[in-house]
């Protein structure tokens, strides 16, 4: 079975289907090589459930014993997304520094690959690899 076809691995506490999205490569990179996922600061969390309810990637599940969200499937998180952190009313969700994403963009040659994909639409040659380098901010 293809490693890039996400398999259903169960249901969450709201009885919603959960897929293992960690099997889907990110621009050719193994998703599990990219440490981009939320961390919950439980000292700040007020258990509203917004993160759990809204994340369509089913990164979160709910700990009914403690009435708290848990990061149940970290590698289901969409690389560079921070929606849950933006929605959290308490600022309780944290992510790695944006520099980590810049580093991954450079490592996976994302800009070059994007130019190659877009080339047929733009009707001009893609840039050279050197021209499309993205370097992490220092």
* Residue 5 binding ligand SF4, by CB under 6 A: no
Residues 46, 126 contacting (CB under 8 angstroms): no
Q: Which of 18, 34, 40, 101 binds ligand SF4 (CB under 6 A)?
A: 40
* Shortest reach from residue 18's CB to ligand SF4, in Å: 12
Q: Which of 18, 22, 75, 84 binds ligand SF4 (CB under 6 A)?
A: 84
Stretch that binds ligand SF4, among 24-32, 78-86, 105-113, 118-126 (CB under 6 A): 78-86
Catalogue the long-range contacts made by 107-111 (C-beta closer than 8 Å, 24 or more residues apart).
107/29, 108/26, 108/27, 108/28, 108/29, 109/27, 110/27, 110/134
* Shortest reach from residue 99's CB to ligand SF4, in Å: 17
Closer to ligand SF4 by Cβ: residue 26 or 115: 26
Distance, CA of 8 to CA of 4 (rounded, Å): 13
Residue 104, classified by CB atoms within 10 Å of its CB into exposed (0-12), middle (13-18) or buried (19+), is: buried
| Per-position x/- string for 97-136, each x denoting binding to ligand SF4 as judged by CB under 6 A, each - no binding | ----------------------------------------
Cα-Cα-Cα-Cα torsion 118, 122, 126, 127, nearest 10 degrees, comes to -110
Return residues touching ligand SF4 (CB under 6 A). 38, 40, 45-51, 55, 57, 59, 69, 77-78, 81-84, 88-90, 92-93
């Amino acid at each position: 079975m293809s490693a890039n076809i996400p398999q259903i691995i169960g249901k969450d506490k709201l009885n919603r289907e959960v897929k293992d999205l960690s099997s889907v490569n990110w621009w050719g990179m193994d998703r599990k090589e990219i440490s981009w996922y939320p961390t919950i600061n439980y000292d700040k969390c007020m258990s509203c459930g917004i993160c759990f309810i809204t994340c369509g990637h089913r990164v979160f599940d709910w700990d009914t014993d403690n009435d708290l969200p848990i990061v149940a499937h970290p590698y289901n998180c969409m690389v560079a997304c921070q929606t849950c952190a933006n929605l959290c009313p308490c600022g309780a969700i944290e992510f790695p520094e944006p520099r980590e994403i810049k580093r991954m963009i450079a490592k996976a040659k994302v800009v070059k690959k994007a130019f190659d994909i877009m080339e047929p639409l733009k009707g001009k040659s893609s840039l050279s690899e050197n021209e499309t380098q993205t370097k992490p901010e220092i």
